[in-house]
A = this chain, B = another copy of it.
Amino acid sequence: MQTLYVELGERRYPIFIGSHLDPKALLEPYLHGRQVMLVSNTTVAPLYLQSYKDALIQLNKQVAECILPDGEQYKDIQHLNLIFDALLESGFNRDCTVLALGGGVIGDMAGFASACFQRGVNFIQVPTTLLSQVDSSVGGKTGINHPLGKNMLGAFQQPQVVLADMAQLDTLPDRELSAGLAEVIKYALLGDQDFLVWLEQNMDALVARDANLLAEAVYRSCAHKARIVANDEKEQGERALLNLGHTFGHAIESYLGYGVWLHGEAVATGMVMAADLSQRLGWISVEDVERTKKIIQRANLPISCPKIPLDEFLAYMAHDKKVLNGQLRLVLLQRLGQAVITKDFDIELMKQSILANQSVS
């Protein structure tokens, strides 16, 4: 087992990364108060909830649960409210802990609920997808969607501790494993050329779920994100680099409707568009773009999206949070392994990059 500390001063917390982690031993030091609300979904709960429940009961905790339907389309205010209902119906107080057992959606919702309930209670994350292990476990971003935009409502809420258990990836569908690899690739592209080389060497084994390599990929991804977040918790600057591929990706996700494409799939194609635009701006080479597409394809991820009318694509991009004062800012690649936040690009070239990476069907 490896341990990575996210350095946030008083709110410093550990991420435990390994296989077949022992929840009782690992959670005990981080549980304050007696009440624990387990938030999970109908897919994950039947697989992993009982072992957490057992561990908590052995720790003499008062355990309650809130099982939500599975899917991004339920990441809304109505389903958030079900967590509040469960907390209040169980008579939970300010000293309780909300534990998220599931992927990014569950982490986002349970985290946001824990930030709002009684103006903030303790929060623990057990991410059960590769995507949430490398993305949601670091950074404290929580939230829900609104019909007019993804993640429009939320809070910065740091967990007490994160358990990333590779054994829980055994039951993860292939498509979701790939979606997680999209974010792993993102860390390499935006800031770590060595990691990109490592991924090129190990992608086949990662896709084949080698647990040790997956743990290493999670560790390196989280370490990378943790460094950025420690410098810029509230996303005033550097942290926005983590949005590589996300502004394009959000437009794809929003147009297709939440839940049709996985977040990681949309980000994958979004990264191709960002690389393509970076090439049109003369920052990276055609070979760099091909290398980007290649590693994304090897992770079984899409490098183009369905045909989307350009005006609609742009309208969805404009609703993305990365728009500051109405001006679009994008994360682009100065070179492979070094991203930059910029509003200094030709909008016509951006349109070409969008159109060039849509399937012709």
- Chain A residues in the interface with B (C-beta under 8 A): 33-34, 77, 81, 84-85, 88-89, 91, 93-95, 115-120, 141, 143, 146, 148-149, 152-156, 234, 318-319, 321, 323-326
Contacts and interface: CB of A to CB of B under 8 A. Distances in A.
A281 to B, nearest CB: 25
Nearest to A89: B148
Given A77-B81, A119-B141, A154-B119, A95 B146 contact: no
A234 B117 CA distance: 14
A93 B326 contact: yes
Nearest to A315: B91
A117 to B, nearest CB: 6
Nearest to A119: B154
User: Nearest 10 pairs between A and B by C-beta?
Assistant: A88-B148, A119-B154, A116-B153, A118-B321, A95-B325, A93-B323, A88-B146, A77-B81, A94-B321, A119-B156
18 contacts: A34-B325, A77-B84, A84-B152, A84-B153, A88-B152, A88-B319, A91-B318, A93-B321, A93-B323, A93-B325, A115-B155, A116-B116, A116-B143, A117-B152, A117-B153, A118-B153, A119-B141, A119-B143
A154 B88 CA distance: 14
A325 B33 contact: yes
A71 B40 CA distance: 35
A278 to B, nearest CB: 24
Q: A93, A120, A146, A148 — which one has the most chain B CB atoms within 10 A of its CB?
A: A93
Q: A95, A118, A234, A319 — which one has the most chain B CB atoms within 10 A of its CB?
A: A118
Contacts of A88: 146, 148-149, 152, 319
Contacts of A85: 146, 148
